[in-house]
Amino acid sequence: MERYFVYVVTFLLILHLVQAQNQTGFISVDCGLSPLASPYNAPETGLTYTSDADLVNSGKTGRVAKEFEPLYDRPTLIMRYFPEGVRNCYNLNVTRDTNYLIKATFVYGNYDGLNVVPNFDLYLGPNLWSTVSSNDTIEEIIHVTNSNSLQVCLVNTGISIPFINMLELRPLKKNMYVTQSGSLKYLFRGYISNSSTRIRFPEDVYDRKWYPLFDNSWTQLTTTLNVNTGITYELPQGVMAKAATPLEANETLNITWTIEPPTQYYSYVHFAELQNLRANDTREFNVTQNGIYTFGPFSPLPLKTASIVNSIPQQCDGGACILQLVKTLKSTLPPILNAIEAFSVIDLPQMETSNFTVVGIKNVQDTYGLTRISWQGDPCVPKLFLWDGLNCNSSDISTSPIITSLDLSSSGLSGIITQAIMNLIHLQKLDLSGNNLTGDIPAFLADIKSLLVINLSGNNLSGSVPPSLLQKKGMKLNVKGNPHLVCTAGSCVNKGDDGHKKKSVIVPVIASIVSIAVLIGALVLFFILKKKRSPKVEGPPPSYMQASDGRSPRSSEPAIVAKNRRFTYSQVVIMTNNFQRILGKGGFGFVYHGFVNGTEQVAVKILSHSSSQGYKQFKAEVELLLRVHHKNLVGLVGYCDEGVNLALIYEYMANGDLKEHMSGTRNRFILNWGTRLKIVLESAQGLEYLHNGCKPPMVHRDVKTTNILLNEHFQAKLSDFGLSRSFPIEGETHVSTVVAGTPGYLDPEYYRTNWLTEKSDVYSFGIVLLEIITNQPVIDKIRVKPHIAEWVGVMLTKGDIKSIMDPSLNEDYDSASVWKAVELAMGCLNPNSVRRPTMSQVVVELNECLASENARGGASRDMESKSSIELSLTFETEVSPTAR
């Protein structure tokens, strides 16, 4: 008996651990729950729920009335309600660019004793999600996050006080529930069963709720055998083990629902054959939606799930929708259906405030402990809920709003001026007057290019005003009333303010101005006369005129010798529309979108004053790109070198970098194997040109997926040449240099010896090849072998290419092509650089890989529809059969 008890306890413990593991990434919030009672496991599902105390800054706790308690279980018995403020928001930490199923539960239960039907708005970030207008409702949406934070907001419309009982987020795979645009709002999700059992977690690993759906004109089919429930949608066994067919063999099987026109929808219809068909039996049917032929003839596979999914959204005439399964003349059996889901398309057009900006303003909020009731949700949008003290530019919903003005005057601030303000990179006006701020005035304020009005008066700042602020053109700086601030000429108002001192200052100033004007006039006259006498000689712009020792006046670095493509800083400001749209950020600084001549799109990289990359690397990149030209190297449109303002202006690459597409942060679409090969082949051609087509040869030194950019046609181009080096002496095979590059991509031989050769680029390119093959991080400390090269080496000993190939490709590739690419990558990573292939050899090998992949032809999983409705058919099996 004791042994039996131990077995039972062990089994229950294992079951509990398995369920706990399956909750990875789940967010389950019991709204209103006391932190002392958190966390707990819900009895029905085993899901772990936590308190919302750390997720929201406002609200009070309520509980359903006693007469309603028997109707509900924990966690819907209590709620948080919001009697104060117009907008109250939950701030959730999520994973950017992840497909989430989000559920918000609202059970009124007459918690306030007023018996008023709820009516308030529910927002997802800055966009309206739904209006809550019933006593008991669940709002569900499938939404892809734009950043690492998500706000769910309840808005008081003046009818009733907002409340919420439960908030749940479940991460989905990126190839599930894909839409052309917008998010998916739940309409219904049903499995075909005449039972009353609702199915959810743990049977559904994504905690989707499946409700039984049945009609008296159907016959129930069930099986006790195991059904292959699929690798894409991972449907519950209990859902796919039940199905229905029409009672009458020749009848159609119909599913109807209604939506408000002109709302669009997506449907997901799931099939599996549950009956053991006899030799002369055939089940075959066509699928129609709203009377239009959609797909068929189709025969479900025995005990294997197939899903028919709309690739484009559909509409229903008058709001009445109907799905019909129609038996073909060949079929001896009626149609079969196991499950169906439907979602309406909800557009969330208003973009969230720029992530850099949100991080900055929230850090400001945390640093100074600001508890303003309006400082919840998105800082800028909707405009109706703009945070107090902010002004934003949010006129164009197609671009992220930006904070342009921050007024925290007389707000009781203390401490130093926080560095978090640096993230407010579009700030034009900053008012911190009338507080108790101490410490120095930080120099980073000069790095905020658009900031031209700063009011720091009435604080306790000390030190002196940074020269970079004093030299900034157009800057209006007010530092009055800081008794410990050291005043230098022109930095702040003199303490003595009587008329005598004013006059004593004004007279010499006027005299100085007159003297300077006379001197300038004399110099101008001298140069005009000299120009008339001197022959006209072409030369570099004045700021690049060389001193007698051939060095640049800015430093000991040689001057840039280019005569054209140079822009002034004021031109850079105009072309970027005052640095309005950020494309990204790197070690050099921020990259902005811009236009040259009003039509040509460009990417403008601005050197930050705090950047570790200085003028040397800036000059190296300009000079290299001015003399090399290749279709697979990013083109330099121009540069700016004006005082402390350095900028590189490139051709615009509309599709970002390869890393974004591999990680899924750019979009949710998976690059197929052929596209990946094309991209790395083009990158290899760019490197091959640097090694063999340039005189002297060039080594890139920083080859990685973030430095492979893609234009609107997905043509690949190498970028970021700030670390590139050339071999200046004819016949020289290496240069000795301080090691530079990116960890993980760095050639170990170069690291040991400091001898740089073109084979160092080959090694880095080998790492890039492994990334596109495996879609694994270069360094992952969780792996047994953290470095990708070591990990692949271990996996290859098993002889199975599937163990290292990116699983999201669903084995849709030519195995011979993949093996050849893996062998090439491992050759590039040979510890002895002499044994690595040249980039010319790499190009040849990759051409062969691509030819092999392209030769397999009709192996694509995409299926062409015979009608105007575009569909995809997903057979959730190990082998994907072709459509019949």
Binding-site residue ranges for ATP: 605
- The dihedral through the CA atoms of 693, 654, 715, 823 has a sign that is positive
710: exposed, middle or buried (Cβ count in 10 Å: 0-12, 13-18, 19+): buried
Q: CA 664, 666, 667, 668: dihedral to nearest 10 degrees?
A: 0
Question: Which tokens belong to 731?
Answer: 């016949």
Find out whether 362 and 356 touch, Cβ atoms under 8 Å. no
**Binding-site annotation: residue ranges:** 605
Task: Identify the helix (H) or strand (E) that includes residue 13.
Answer: helix 2-21
From 702, 720, 761, 806, active-site residue:
702
Residue 730: other Cβ atoms inside 10 A: 7
Q: Considering only CA atoms, which of 660, 623, 616 is closest in space to residue 639? A: 623
The answer to whether 761 is a known catalytic residue is: no
Q: Give me the helices (H) in 264-372, please.
A: 355-368
Dist CA 72 CA 79 (whole Å) = 12
Residue 748: other Cβ atoms inside 10 A: 13
Dist CA 443 CA 91 (whole Å) = 32
Cis, bond preceding 39 (omega within 30 deg of 0): yes
Dist CA 310 CA 121 (whole Å) = 30
Task: State whether residue 651 is helix, strand or coil.
Answer: strand
Dist CA 789 CA 831 (whole Å) = 11
Find out whether 369 and 408 touch, Cβ atoms under 8 Å. no
Amino acid at 594: G
- The angle formed by the CA atoms of residues 604, 608 and 612, to the nearest 5 degrees, is 120
Task: Identify the helix (H) or strand (E) that includes residue 572.
Answer: helix 569-575
Cβ density class 816-832: b for 16+ within 10 Å, e for less: ebbebbbebbbbbbbee
Amino acid at 564: N
- The angle formed by the CA atoms of residues 26, 209 and 187, to the nearest 5 degrees, is 110
Task: State whether residue 299 is helix, strand or coil.
Answer: coil
Q: Give me the helices (H) in 668-803, please.
A: 673-688, 748-753, 758-774, 788-796
| HSE-CB of 672 using CA atoms within 13 angstroms | 11
| HSE-CB of 613 using CA atoms within 13 angstroms | 24
Residue 89: other Cβ atoms inside 10 A: 24
Cβ density class 419-450: b for 16+ within 10 Å, e for less: ebbbbbbbbbbbbbbbbebeeebbebbbbbbb
Q: Give me the helices (H) in 715-832, please.
A: 748-753, 758-774, 788-796, 815-828
- The angle formed by the CA atoms of residues 619, 625 and 629, to the nearest 5 degrees, is 170
Longest dimension (CA), the chain: 115
Q: Which residues are catalytic?
A: 702
